[in-house]
Structures are given as structure tokens and as C-alpha cells.
């Protein structure tokens, strides 16, 4: 088995050693999935779940664990659950390696697509790959591509198409995260994190970072540029609210925007401010997902923050790592999350939208 070397730091030495003893199939076995018979019965864990409000016990069991199901990635991001008749699987981005990875409990880890977000021939910085991933209503994989600076779609029956790569004749920065509305409109964020020099990159053509809508008719609308560093994005169950994360160390927060009847946004209000934790715990506001009751599961300083629809913090899935994104999968009650070099999962008592 070809095992990737992991970074050895004071707080990460124990986990990789445990993985070797507990289940070698957890490690990245490039291009070769493990057969179903080799699927492990248990996984190592990390971190802990912090219950800050008794109401969280209705969503997560007190004994729930943060299971590490795969490891060895440079920077994991953008997980999406792909349902199948018998079993499903998780796709997620390993941005620095320009790959989309595939994991299932039956077959372990393998490369799904390479290259993923950058198809050029010159070096393109530290984060050239895809970021956010999402399925369209007909099950095609929609991708935010850093290096190629576009949102694209990969068709199940073959072929790939650019959905949007510019606004008013200027190239997008580096699309980051995305969400479909039930009517088929696609909403996405466009910070410059995928540009080699980010905000100071000479290839940057727009002088702002926007939140956009791509309509089913192909029209691109700038919804807001009020957030300096927009990142994760998600709808409430009734689609009357759009949540946008801001990954700014001096404004580490989430904004709730009312969605108007024409699909544009009204004036946003502060949903939750975590600026006081930025720098004290690893990570910043990033990706998020919403359950059927409207609770928001949002990555931020220290892990995944769990909010009520009113913005009350119920608790935190504290990974101890920079936690990038999360999505619901399996029957809808398992939360999958990407945290630095890890793909993790937590069993919950709720279900995500769409299950």
C-alpha cells in the first residue's frame, strides 16, 4: 500500500500512529479503492463535541464521536453526498493537489478526478483545485474551480461545461462555494483565495468580491459586494434566507440576507459574530449546511458551529483543526466534514435539507 507521509507536529503525531494500528485502509491509497470486505468496523476519533445549550441534545447524542474516516490530504474542502441505490459516497476537493476525492464506507478512498480545478500548464499557486461541490437537480456535479476561475458542471453521461467564468466582461476571481435554489438558479461566492497572490494578484480583474446568481436562463446577477471576503453559502429550508460566511480575521461572521421574490437579496443582518475567537482557535467562517428544521451547521474558529435559525449558538463540533466545510449524507443524518488533512463524520439526530 502506498501511504502518504503526514505532517508531524506536536498535536498531530498521535493520530497518524493510531491510524496505522487501527485501520490502514483509512490512509490515502492513490488510485486504488479497498474492496468492500476490507471496510473497517470502527474509525479513530478526534476532538470533542461541546454542548453549550441543552437544546443541542435534540440534534446530537451526548456520546456522539467525531470519526476520522480518511486522512492524508493537503487541504480538504467542499464535500458533497452522492446518493446511490445501494449505497452512496462523498466527493470532496483536495485543493492543493488539484484533485476531487471519492470516499465510501465500502470502498475507502480513491481519486475521482484529476486535474480538477486547474487545467493550465504553468504553476498556479498553492490552491489551484476545485473548492465547493454541489449536485444539480438531475445529479450532475457542479464545481467551483479556483485555477480555471469558473463554475462548471460535469455530466454523468460524459463531458464538462463552463456555466459562468466572468461578470460584465471581466474574469471571476476564484469561485469558492455554491448552492442551488429549488427553481434551478445557482448562487455562488467569488473571493480571490484561488489566485496565487490572492487579493494582490495582478491577474485579478474585478476590484471587489461578490455573491452572484446564475439564473436558469444564463443571466449572471451581482447580488451583493458588501462582504469583503465571502465564503460559504446556504439557504434556509424555505429559501427565504441566504446565509453567507465571511472568512475575514477581523470580521469573522455570518450574514443572513432576505431573499426577495425576484431572487435578489435585501439588506443583510448579522447572524453571528465569531471575531473574538479568530486567532484563538484554528479556522475562520467557511462552508455550511442547514438541516430540515433550519438549524445552521457552519464551520468556523475551532470546528463546526451549530446555530438555531435565530442565530443562537447551541454547541460546537470541536475538531481542533481548521475545519473547512460540511454536508449531510447517508440517510441525511450523518454530517460529513472536511478538516485540514481529514475527512470526518458525526452521527446526528436530525437530517439535512433534501433528505
Higher per-residue confidence, 189 vs 25: 189
pLDDT above 70 (res 353): yes
pLDDT in tens, 175-227: 999 999 999 999 999 999 999 999 999 999 999 999 999 999 999 999 999 99
pLDDT in tens, 291-321: 999 999 999 999 999 999 999 999 999 999 9
What is the pLDDT at residue 38? 45
Three cell numbers at 177?
462555494
Mean pLDDT for the chain overall:
91
Cα dihedral 64/290/132/26 (nearest 10):
10
What is d(CA 155, CA 10) in angstroms, rounded to the nearest whole number?
Answer: 43
pLDDT above 90 (res 28): no
pLDDT in tens, 99-126: 999 999 999 999 999 999 999 999 999 9
Higher per-residue confidence, 19 vs 73: 73
What is the pLDDT at residue 316? 98
What is the pLDDT at residue 86? 81
Mean local confidence (pLDDT), 7-29: 39
pLDDT in tens, 275-294: 999 999 999 999 999 999 99
pLDDT above 70 (res 136): yes
Q: b/e for 75-114, b at 16 or more Cβ within 10 A?
A: bbbbbbbbeeeeeebbbbbbbbbbbbbbbbbebbbbbbbe
Domains, the chain, with CATH or none: 68-291+324-347 (2.120.10.30)
pLDDT above 80 (res 96): yes
What is the pLDDT at residue 40? 59
Higher per-residue confidence, 68 vs 31: 68
Amino acid at each position: 500500500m502506498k501511504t502518504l507521509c503526514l505532517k508531524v507536529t506536536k498535536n498531530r503525531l498521535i493520530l497518524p500512529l493510531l491510524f496505522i494500528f487501527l485501520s490502514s485502509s483509512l490512509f490515502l491509497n492513490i488510485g486504488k479503492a479497498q474492496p468492500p470486505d476490507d471496510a473497517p468496523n470502527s474509525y479513530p476519533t478526534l476532538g470533542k463535541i461541546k454542548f453549550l445549550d441543552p437544546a443541542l441534545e435534540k440534534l446530537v447524542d451526548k456520546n456522539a464521536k467525531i470519526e476520522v474516516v480518511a486522512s492524508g490530504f493537503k487541504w480538504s474542502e467542499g464535500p458533497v453526498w452522492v446518493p446511490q441505490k445501494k449505497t452512496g459516497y462523498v466527493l470532496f476537493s483536495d485543493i492543493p493537489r488539484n484533485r476531487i476525492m471519492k470516499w465510501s464506507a465500502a470502498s475507502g478512498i480513491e481519486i475521482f478526478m484529476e486535474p480538477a480545478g486547474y487545467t493550465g500548464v504553468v504553476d498556479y499557486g498553492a490552491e489551484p483545485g476545485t473548492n465547493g461541490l454541489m449536485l444539480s437537480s438531475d445529479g450532475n456535479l457542479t464545481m467551483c474551480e479556483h485555477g480555471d476561475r469558473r463554475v462548471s458542471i460535469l455530466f454523468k453521461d460524459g463531458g464538462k461545461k463552463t456555466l459562468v467564468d466572468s461578470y460584465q466582461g471581466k474574469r471571476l476571481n476564484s469561485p469558492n462555494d455554491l448552492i442551488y435554489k429549488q427553481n434551478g438558479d445557482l448562487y455562488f461566492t467569488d473571493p480571490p483565495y484561488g489566485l496565487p497572490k490572492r487579493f494582490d494578484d495582478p491577474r485579478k480583474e474585478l476590484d471587489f468580491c461578490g455573491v452572484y446568481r446564475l439564473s436558469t436562463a444564463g443571466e449572471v446577477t451581482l447580488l451583493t459586494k458588501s462582504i469583503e471576503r465571502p465564503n460559504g453559502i446556504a439557504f434556509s429550508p424555505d429559501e427565504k434566507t441566504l446565509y453567507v460566511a465571511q472568512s475575514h480575521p477581523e470580521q469573522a461572521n455570518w450574514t443572513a440576507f432576505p431573499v426577495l421574490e425576484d431572487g435578489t437579496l435585501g439588506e443583510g443582518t448579522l447572524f453571528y459574530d465569531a471575531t473574538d475567537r479568530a486567532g484563538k482557535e484554528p479556522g475562520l467562517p467557511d462552508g455550511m449546511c442547514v438541516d430540515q428544521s433550519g438549524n445552521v451547521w457552519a464551520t468556523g474558529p475551532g470546528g463546526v458551529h451549530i446555530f438555531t435559525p435565530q442565530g443562537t449558538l447551541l454547541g460546537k463540533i470541536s475538531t481542533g483543526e481548521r475545519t473547512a466545510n460540511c454536508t449531510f449524507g447517508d440517510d441525511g443524518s450523518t454530517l460529513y466534514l472536511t478538516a485540514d488533512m481529514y475527512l470526518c463524520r458525526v452521527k446526528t439526530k436530525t437530517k439535512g435539507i433534501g433528505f
